[in-house]
Structure 1
């Protein structure tokens, strides 16, 4: 009797026979979604409490909560069948996310939400909740760190005749020239300032210069200003 097992037999025995779906009880589903909801709600709370950017986005924060629960559902779905998991990976690979992330720290919260959804969907409830507490504590401590100075953008519009006086005032500040635009005899100067305290008396001195049309100061985080 020929007992030789070829490669196709191995594939059939170990893979193709696994088309049947596994079973997830209603309790497992409820526990997974509940854990994902609690972890997502905790991520929502930490993001709102620790956000230090210029523009807080409630919709992005709500997305973190929903993302956690959706990831949990995906993991529970693919855990029931190997073939289905491969198909879903292929389907998800064609998805392209075009939303720009303004604050690099937002990426941390996105990965945190995905990781919490994966662990809760895999049934690792204690790991999900304990990990959320530890990561949240680390982020909270980092957000409490005091910054010695704050970045601002100073925008000045003035006539070219006042160039020397404007430069003389700027030399008293810790600034970096970002741009200078000349439109006929009007100059638009943009400088990056570092201020340790909210002392803006220099704006009054600049505005008192006869050739200066207006002076604007906006908070700056390195990517964009509002």
Structure 2
């Protein structure tokens, strides 16, 4: 019986079956990396194309490693070809870069048929990322927002302001203080951390109820969001 697939594998560094196993494993592990990324993602700049690039980037790198094999000339040719390709997409979050790099590493390991390293590396990378996400490793307490208002330059008003801030805020620090309305008013700016999110509206309303306090505004900030 004539092997009709023989022409596909003649002169190849690996046979067709091993290539299929490598490519399928690279695709599967690339999807695992992408799933971990989706499960631990925080922010607003979510990109579906970035997830697809993780899942398919491992297949591309695996294919290149299978094609290169142990040929130095083929490796130089692939490097020259890749240098001619210009990638204009920028990843602003270093975490996104690490996930893309992990997907490419999976593809390289599968292309070199280091299946044990690919499986173990994906398991440790995925498990470690999930552990850091669940435990909140590296997180720091940040101010909830910036509170601005103008108030009369009088001891009674300052005492009322301090009382309300102590009642509603876990921490507050004065950022700027300057004269307004020819010295009759003082413009305040505080970085605050409220004791509970539901106290934000109460804080603003109680400040506005103080005689002479004007232009009360609370600008919230979230350090994990990328706008």
Q: Report the TM-score, using the length of structure 2 for normalisation.
A: 0.67
Secondary structure in structure 1 of the residue aligned to 2:53: helix
Partner of 1:216: 219
CA drift at 1:119: 0.5
CA distance in 1, matches of 2:77, 2:113: 22
Partner of 1:154: 145
Secondary structure in structure 2 of the residue aligned to 1:151: coil
* 8 Å contact from structure 2 (residues 151, 188) kept in 1: no
Partner of 2:5: none
Partner of 2:197: 199
- 1:57 pairs with one of 40, 47, 52: 47
- 2:115 pairs with one of 106, 122, 125: 125
Partner of 1:174: 171
CA distance in 2, matches of 1:78, 1:177: 62
Structure 2: any 5+ residue segments left out of the alignment?
1-9
CA distance in 2, matches of 1:211, 1:170: 16
Partner of 1:4: none
Question: Cα RMSD over matched residues?
Answer: 3.9
Partner of 2:31: 41
1:90-115 per-position Cα deviation (integer Å, ceiling 9, x unaligned)? 23234444433333222221221111
Q: Does structure 1 residue 82 correspond to structure 2 residue 72?
A: yes
Q: Does structure 1 residue 107 correspond to structure 2 residue 115?
A: no
Structure 1: any 5+ residue segments left out of the alignment?
1-19
CA drift at 1:58: 2.9
Q: How many pairs does the alignment contain?
A: 201
* 8 Å contact from structure 2 (residues 43, 226) kept in 1: no
CA distance in 1, matches of 2:108, 2:20: 15
Q: How does 1:25-36 map to 2 (within 5 A)?
A: 25-36=15-26
CA distance in 1, matches of 2:27, 2:170: 49
CA distance in 1, matches of 2:38, 2:172: 32
Secondary structure in structure 2 of the residue aligned to 1:100: coil
1:164-213 per-position Cα deviation (integer Å, ceiling 9, x unaligned)? 86985668553567899xxx99x89684x556x64341443234425125
Q: 1:131 to 1:170 in 2, by over 3 A?
A: same
CA distance in 2, matches of 1:140, 1:161: 48
CA distance in 2, matches of 1:174, 1:136: 36
